[in-house]
Amino acid sequence: MDLQLEGKIIVVTGGAKGIGDGIVKVLAGEGALPVIIGRNKEDNLKALDEISHKGNHVVAELTNPDECKKAIDAVLNMYGRIDGLVNNAGVNDGVNLENGDYDRFMASLHKNLVHYYLMAHWALPSLIQSKGAIVNISSKTAETGQGGTSAYAAANGGRNALTREWAVELLKYGVRVNAVIVAESYTPLYEKWIQTLPDPDEALKRITDKIPLGQRMTTTEEIGSTVAFLLSEKSSHTTGQLIHVDGGYVHLDRAL
């Protein structure tokens, strides 16, 4: 299937590493021009190197609202258009109910949710012009809970709600909005998290053994392929959907 993404300008937040990097690689493979928005110039350039610079990058710290606008302005200065936005940057930062506090809770919402809104807000005029699409990356924690991560779970609930909300608001423009929900994907963020557990190797085995399809983690390329499809015209009648690319983790029988 030709996704017809050739030459499309797709903004990918957090595109230098992990899931974002997987998305960027798939998009570049389809001939699109991904624009990585990330906080670390070296990381951005390394990821761009790996796709032979068929795309671009903007250095931005997305917890800073001004930098969200500047990032979109920079993309428009480079290309004059935006065909797709992938909101992906975030971190599972473990702000829990018992020992968390107001400042850490609010800071986590800025790390995980507020920039999703701001990036879509500033990119919207261009997306309306191009009849583009938005894909929000989200986490199973909104639906299953995880324990010990109130703010991150709340942010993911917000990501899912905004997906439906924007799908409705943008019907009149033909701009489609979908979410890809991830459960377990081994990325630099995941590795950092698993290393905080008492026995990381045992924990990793315990978790992967419970993933129904193949008892393995979802690869970042598998997530990238679904994102590319949702950005493309081949999914032209799909909007407001929360698509679980998780090997059946959230919905299949627990007795498996």
Ligand X SMILES: NC(=O)c1ccc[n+]([C@@H]2O[C@H](COP(=O)([O-])OP(=O)(O)OC[C@H]3O[C@@H](n4cnc5c(N)ncnc54)[C@H](O)[C@@H]3O)[C@@H](O)[C@H]2O)c1
Does 144 help bind ligand X (rule: CB under 6 A)? no
Q: Which of residues 106-135 bind ligand X (CB under 6 A)?
A: 111
Does 68 help bind ligand X (rule: CB under 6 A)? no
Among 43, 127, 142, 178, binds ligand X (CB under 6 A): 43
Q: Based on CB atoms, which residue is closest to ligand X, 91 or 128? A: 91
Among 29, 54, 63, 79, binds ligand X (CB under 6 A): 63
Q: Based on CB atoms, which residue is closest to ligand X, 185 or 239? A: 185
Q: Based on CB atoms, which residue is closest to ligand X, 141 or 234? A: 141
Active site residue 152: yes
Q: Which of residues 165-204 bind ligand X (CB under 6 A)?
A: 182, 184-185, 187-190
The closest residue (CB) to ligand X is: 18
Min separation Cβ 169 and ligand X, Å = 22
DSSP states along the chain: -----TT-EEEEETTTSHHHHHHHHHHHHTT-EEEEEES-HHHHHHHHHHTTT-SEEEE--TTSHHHHHHHHHHHHHHHS---EEEE---------TTT--HHHHHHHHIIIIIHHHHHHHHHHHHHHHHT-EEEEEEETHHHH--SS-HHHHHHHHHHHHHHHHHHHHTGGGT-EEEEEEES----HHHHHHHTTSSSHHHHHHHHHHT-TTTTSPPPHHHHHHHHHHHHSGGGTT--S-EEE-STTTTTS-TT-
Among 12, 20, 127, 162, binds ligand X (CB under 6 A): 20
Q: Binders of ligand X: how many residues, by CB under 6 A?
A: 28
User: One of 152, 186, 190, 249 is an active-site residue; which one?
Assistant: 152
Q: Which residues here bind ligand X, judged by CB under 6 A?
A: 14, 16-20, 38-40, 43, 60-63, 88-91, 111, 137, 139, 182, 184-185, 187-190
Which residues are the active-site residues? 152
